[in-house]
């Protein structure tokens, strides 16, 4: 029986749960999932961006209990360095931490205007102007990384924390038909085809619970 437990919320809507789950998959940790029900008030507040704190995902590993996605990333990096969650090169590793931190702390307009919803598809979606700078900045980050490290992932040939942190943006760009240049679109599709992402997406599509507030016709 796995000693580690990862608590997640909705697979359809929770971008933070997706990030934490991907990090655990990448690390190779033996874990089981515990799902918080959608009728939990705190869970709904987090998904609707009405809560200032995010307590899910939460990883319980032996006597350690870690919430906050970046904290989970650092914990897994410390306990399982062989997984290569961060680049080996010092400068690339610092770069990876910087852009992961930027996603962790920012892009609020993108989150508000384009909430994660894997079941939905909005062709020709009209994007609120306030979200456009966030989209442009993500494209800038992706292009810089892909040019510098050669792809197909943000830091070269291996998945890192950065890819897990930006994976929900890939789903948002797909859901809301966000126009991207060829290089960014290729990266988006590469991440969406990542077997772990395919597994998560299938579970999200099979999820019975819906959050009506995020299923409106924009």
State residue 38's pLDDT score: 66
pLDDT above 50: residue 21: yes
Q: Does the structure show a pLDDT above 50 at 204?
A: yes
Question: All domains of the chain, ordered by start, with CATH?
Answer: 4-83 (3.40.30.10), 90-200 (1.20.1050)
CB 134 within 8 A of CB 142: no
Q: In this predicted structure, what is the pLDDT of residue 208?
A: 81
| 135-177 confidence digits (pLDDT tens) | 999 999 999 999 999 999 999 999 999 999 999 999 999 999 9
pLDDT at residue 2 is higher than 70: no
Express each pLDDT in 42-100 by its tens digit. Answer: 555 555 554 455 678 999 999 999 999 999 999 999 999 999 999 999 999 999 999 99
Considering the chain, what is the average pLDDT of its residues?
90
The SS3 assignment for 11 reads: coil
- How much is the pLDDT for 50? 46
Q: Are 215 and 120 in contact (CB under 8 A)?
A: yes
* Per-residue model confidence (pLDDT) at position 56: 85
């Amino acid at each position: 029986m796995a000693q580690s437990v990862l608590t997640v919320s909705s697979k359809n809507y929770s971008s933070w749960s997706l990030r934490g789950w991907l990090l655990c998959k990448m690390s190779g940790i033996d874990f089981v999932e515990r799902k918080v029900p959608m009728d939990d008030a705190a869970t709904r507040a987090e998904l609707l961006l009405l809560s200032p704190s995010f307590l899910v995902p939460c990883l319980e590993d032996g006597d350690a209990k870690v919430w906050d996605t970046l904290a989970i990333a650092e914990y897994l990096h410390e306990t399982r360095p062989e997984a290569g969650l961060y680049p080996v090169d010092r400068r690339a590793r610092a770069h990876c931490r910087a852009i992961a931190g930027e996603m962790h702390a920012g892009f609020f307009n993108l989150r508000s205007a384009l909430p994660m919803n894997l079941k939905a598809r909005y062709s020709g979606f009209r994007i609120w102007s306030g979200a456009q700078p966030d989209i442009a900045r993500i494209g800038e980050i992706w292009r810089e990384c892909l040019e510098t490290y050669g792809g197909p992932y943000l830091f070269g040939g291996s998945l890192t924390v950065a890819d897990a942190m930006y994976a929900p943006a890939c789903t948002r760009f797909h859901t809301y038909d966000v126009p991207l240049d060829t290089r960014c679109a290729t990266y988006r599709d590469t991440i969406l085809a990542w077997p772990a992402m395919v597994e998560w997406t299938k579970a999200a599509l099979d999820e019975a619970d819906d959050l009506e507030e995020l299923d409106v016709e924009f």
